Structure 1
Amino acid sequence: MDRAEVLLIGGRSGVGKSTVGWEVSARLRAVPVSHAIIEGDFMGQVHPAPEGDPHRSEITERNLTAVWANFARLGHRRLVYTNTASVLPGATGMFVRAMGADVRIVRVLLTATDVTAEARLTGRELGSELRQEIEGSARKARMLDARAVAGTVRVTTDGRSVIDIAGEVVAATGWV
């Protein structure tokens, strides 16, 4: 396979993007399906934001491009990428520029109720930003639901095991 493919796993805070992403990777390794995985949230974590890049989108794209180039040099053609907003229309260009004009993009939006997300965040966020995370998660859930690219596969995570969720996500890729 010469064409690059990317699985974008998006969703609100507390929905399980990282956990599902790593379980997807475990399932792909077991088959085995060659792939790389990137936690997109780490691609732009610089504070303060670079001058002229208040949303850190430029540094995120530059880092994605560099990391993907390294993976591609090793022969990888499939990427699992987790990030809240990765399923929004504005993210498409970043993946086309970083991975090539003919990249195949599969978008999955993980969903959870406010109650489920708050419970998960309460268990995870031990620092000073819990309330901010809960409020931001609810806002992002509504925005993602309204603005996700047409054709995005929606996968509910409430009351489901990560193994079951990852199975549905992997099925959406057609990689197995």
Structure 2
Amino acid sequence: MTAADGTEALLIGGRSGVGKSSVGWEIAALLKAADVAHTYVEGDTLDQTWPKPPGDATLATLTEENLRALWRNFAARGQRRLIYTNTSAVLDADLIRRATGAARCIGVLLTASDTTTLGRLAAREIGSELDLHTHRSAQMADRLDRDAPSWVHRVPTDGRTVTDIATEIIGITTWS
């Protein structure tokens, strides 16, 4: 996979509870309805292992290796557009480029208020990790707001439908 193949990666990041997965699935559905070729990968699935591998405290190496393996298979079947969701996706453009050979990364940081994200997390986290996700969500909101590169588009999700948000993001990509 080389940058010359024209691979583009849409990186959707944001704090927990902001709507990344819902928006990613909706973008995929809208692109499918428009017959636009794409692949959707939820980054959280690439590093779900315990214990963490020795020497890979942040799981970045495992994430990159797994994405590289997946993308190799998708690219071999002609895919050139990747939708990738993960909390820190917009901070990980270099990792995505290395794993996929993407010539272009389009960054979108989804944003939402503390009240909105807490409500979404409370509805989603029905097990034992609500407090953990709530705490991490607030920490990541601060980090993402501070560290997201200037080329990243900020898209608010408060009070908006998933379809409205997905449609706005597709417009940013110019994929349709």
Q: TM-score, normalised by structure 2?
A: 0.96
Task: Give the residue type in structure 2 aligned to 1:31.
Answer: A
Deviations 1:67-108 (A, max 9, x none): 0000000000000000000111xx1221221122x5210000
Q: Does 1:49 align with 2:52?
A: yes
Q: Corresponding residue for 1:172? A: 172
Deviation at 1:2, TM superposition (A): 3.1
Which ranges in structure 2 are unaligned for 5 or more consecutive residues?
A: none
Q: Does 1:79 align with 2:82?
A: yes
Task: Give the residue type in structure 2 aligned to 1:97.
Answer: R
Name the Cα RMSD after superposition.
1.1
Question: 2 CA distance for matches of 1:85 and 1:69?
Answer: 22
Task: Give the share of equivalent positions with the same residue, in percent.
Answer: 51
Q: Corresponding residue for 1:96? A: 97
Task: Give the residue type in structure 1 aligned to 2:94.
Answer: G
Question: What is the total number of aligned residue pairs between the two structures?
Answer: 173
Task: Give the residue type in structure 1 aligned to 2:95.
Answer: M
Q: Corresponding residue for 1:66? A: 69
Runs of 4+ in 1 over 4 A off after TM superposition: none
Q: TM-score, normalised by structure 1?
A: 0.96
Q: Which moved more, 1:124-133 or 1:16-25?
A: 124-133
Q: Corresponding residue for 1:132? A: 132
Question: 1 CA distance for matches of 2:103 and 2:5?
Answer: 10
Which ranges in structure 1 are unaligned for 5 or more consecutive residues?
A: none
Task: Give the residue type in structure 1 aligned to 2:170.
Answer: V
Q: Corresponding residue for 2:146? A: 146
